[in-house]
Chains A and B, each alone.
Chain A
C-alpha cells in the first residue's frame, strides 16, 4: 500500500486565554494522498485555520498542540526539530494565507520577495537565473508584464494581482503539499474564478497535493477531489466530492448545503439554529448535538467515531 503524503491522526490543539484553555481541535484526522486535492469546509470558528497552523507548526504564541500526530511522508512533524521543520516548510509543504495583503511585506518589491524564497531554496543559484525564475513564476500565474512587476510594491497591485503573487510564491518552492487558507475570500467572483482555475491548473501540472480551506461549498464542489467537513474542531464527514454533494450524510453537512442560496431560486433557506460552541466549555459527546435535529440522549451517548459507510464515505454520526 502506498504511503499517504500527509496523514493527520487525532490532532488536538488549543489556545491558552483568560477564560482558560480553549480546546479548539478535538481529534482531527485526515489523509492526503500525493496529488490529491482536498477541500476543508466549515463555518468560521470551526478550527479550519487552527488545523492548518497546527499542521505547519505555526500556531500563535498562546497556542499549543496537545496530542496526535502529523505524519508527512511517514515522519512525525511534531518530533521534527525547528530547523528541520523550517526546511521542510519551504521545500515540501507551503502555505497560502487568507489575506494576500498581509502575506506580502509592504516594504519589499515583488521581485525581492520572490528572490528571497528562491535564495532560501536554491542557495547556489546565480542571481540572473533567480530573476529568470521569478519572471517565469509571475508569468505562470498570468500576471501581465512580469518584468516590470518585479519592481512594484504590493500596494501598487490590486487584490487579485496580490493573490496571484502569493500563489506564484507558493508555487516557486515546488512543494509537494500546498495548504491554502481561503485565498479567494477577498476577491470578486469573476477574479476568484480566474485565480482558482489558474491555481488548480498549476497544482495539477506540478502534481502537488493541496488542502484547500474555505467556507465556500461551491468552490469545493467545483475544484476538489475529496471534501472534509469540519465542525467545532473535528472532522464530521469526509467523502469524494461528487458523493458528498449528492449524498450528504451528516446533519451538519446537510444543513450547511441547505443554507446556501441557490441560483435556481427557492427563496432564502433556513440557516442552522444556534452557533458554534464555546471552546472553553464545549458540549460533551458529539459537539454538534445542541444544534442537531436528530439528537436524542439515548441514541447519542458519547462522541461518535468516523465510520466508513462505503464509497470511501466517512461520517461521524450515530445515525449511521
Chain B
C-alpha cells in the first residue's frame, strides 16, 4: 500500500493554563493523500486550528504522531520538510509584514531556502504574482495598499513559492466577501490542478467545504466525530452534530433549503475543553441523545465505505443502519 502524504495518528495537544489543562486536541487521526483536499470543519474551540498548527510545525504535539510521506515530523524539522509544508493564515491583514514590499514578501521563502538569488529573485517573484493573477506592478506595493482578497492572493503566492506538497489553509476566506472568496477559492483550485498540491482546509463554512474539499472531517471539542467523502457527506450527514451544523447554515436557494435537516435546531454552546463532558462530548447539546450517551464514549464506525461517524445511534450492537438517516 502506498504511503499517504500526510498521516496523523492519535494526535493530542494539551495547554496548561491557570484554569487547568485545556485539551485542545484530544486524539485526532486522519490521512490525506497527495493532490486531495481534506476539509477540517468545526466551531471555534473545536481544536481545528491547533491541529493545523501542529501539522505546520508552529505547535509541538503533546503526544501522537504526524507522518509526512512516512517520516515522523516530531522535533525540529529539516529545512526540506519545512519547504514541503506551507501555510496560509486566516487573516491576510496580519500575515503580510506591513513594512515589507510585496516583492520582499514573495522572495523571502526563496532566499530562506536558497532557491534563487540576484536577478532570478525578481523574475521568480514576477512569475509568482502572475500565478495568482495580479499585475506585476503589485510587486512594488505595500500590503496596506491591497484589498483583503489581494493580500490573501499574495499570501498564497508566498506559500507556493517553494513548491510545497502540502498547503495548510487556515480559514483562508473567513474575512472576505463572497465575491473575493469565490475568486480566492477558484485560484486555489486552479493552482492545485496545475501543481498538484494537497490542501488541508480549516474552516467553519460547510457550503464552502462542499464545493472545495474532496474529503471532510468534522471536529468537535478536540475529537473528530465524522469523516466522509464530500458529496456523500452532505446528502447523508450521520452525526447529529453535523446535522446541526448543516441546519445552521443560512442558504440562498430553495434547493439548498430542502437539503437541510430541519428538525435539528442549534442549541447551546461548545463546552470548555478544560472539563469536557463525559461519554460522548456532544451529548450536552445533542437533540437525539439517549441512554448511553453521557456514560460511554462512542467509537468511530464505518457506516458506508469511507463514511465514518462516532455516535451511539449507529453502535448499540446492531450493524451499521442501512436506512437513509435524514430526519
Contacts and interface: CB of A to CB of B under 8 A. Distances in A.
Given a CB threshold of 8 Å, the question of whether A touches B is answered with yes
A263 B246 contact: yes
Interface string A220-251: 11100000000000000000000001100000
B93 to A, nearest CB: 12
A230 B326 CA distance: 38
Given A188-B43, A263-B210, A216 B181 contact: no
Interface residues of A, number: 42
B195 interface: no
Given A158-B269, A216-B250, A271 B189 contact: no
Contacts of A160: 269
Interface stretch (A60-68, A190-198, A292-300): A190-198
A119 interface: no
A245 B256 CA distance: 13
A311 B182 CA distance: 31
Contact of B178 (A246, A259, A263): A259
Interface in A249-273: 255-257, 259-272
Given A43-B177, A217-B178, A255-B179, A263 B251 contact: yes
Contacts of B318: none
B147 interface: yes
A260 B178 CA distance: 6
A44 interface: yes
A188 B211 contact: no
Most buried by B among A192, A220, A264, A272: A264
Given A188-B44, A189-B204, A257-B252, A270 B186 contact: yes
A193 B248 contact: yes
Interface residues of B, number: 44
A218 interface: yes
B250 A269 contact: no
Given A255-B179, A263-B251, A268 B245 contact: no
| Main SS at interface, chain B | helix
A227 to B, nearest CB: 11
B3 interface: no
A128 interface: no
A275 interface: yes
B210 A218 contact: no
A219 B210 contact: no
B271 to A, nearest CB: 11
A266 B211 contact: yes
A313 interface: no
B178 A264 contact: no
B289 to A, nearest CB: 16
A219 B186 CA distance: 24
Contacts of B248: 189-190, 192-193
A265 B269 contact: no
Given A194-B267, A268-B189, A215 B177 contact: yes
B43 A267 contact: no
Q: Which of B43, B179, B211, B259 has the most CB of A within 10 A?
A: B179
A15 B267 CA distance: 42
A265 B211 CA distance: 5
A215 B254 CA distance: 19
A191 B248 CA distance: 8
Interface string B162-191: 000000000000000111111101100100
A114 to B, nearest CB: 21
- Highest count of chain B CB atoms <10 Å: which of A194, A261, A269, A270: A261
A263 B207 CA distance: 5
Contact of B210 (A188, A265, A275): A265
A194 B269 CA distance: 10
B249 A189 contact: yes
Interface string B189-223: 10000000000000011111011100000000000
B60 interface: no
Nearest to A267: B211
Contacts of B252: 217-218, 221, 245, 257, 260, 262
A218 B208 CA distance: 13
A268 B212 contact: yes
A261 B249 contact: no
Given A217-B178, A259-B182, A268 B211 contact: yes
A193 B234 contact: no
Contacts of B270: 188
Interface in B97-154: 147-149
Interface string A161-175: 100000000000000
Interface of B: 43-44, 147-149, 177-183, 185-186, 189, 204-208, 210-212, 231, 234, 244-256, 259-260, 266-267, 269-270
Given A193-B247, A218-B250, 13 more contacts: A44-B177, A161-B269, A191-B43, A191-B269, A193-B250, A221-B252, A222-B251, A256-B178, A260-B178, A261-B181, A264-B259, A269-B182, A271-B183
8 contacts: A43-B180, A188-B44, A190-B245, A191-B43, A192-B250, A222-B251, A261-B182, A264-B259
Q: Which 10 A-B pairs have the closest CB atoms?
A: A218-B250, A271-B182, A193-B248, A271-B183, A271-B179, A188-B43, A190-B266, A259-B178, A263-B256, A268-B185
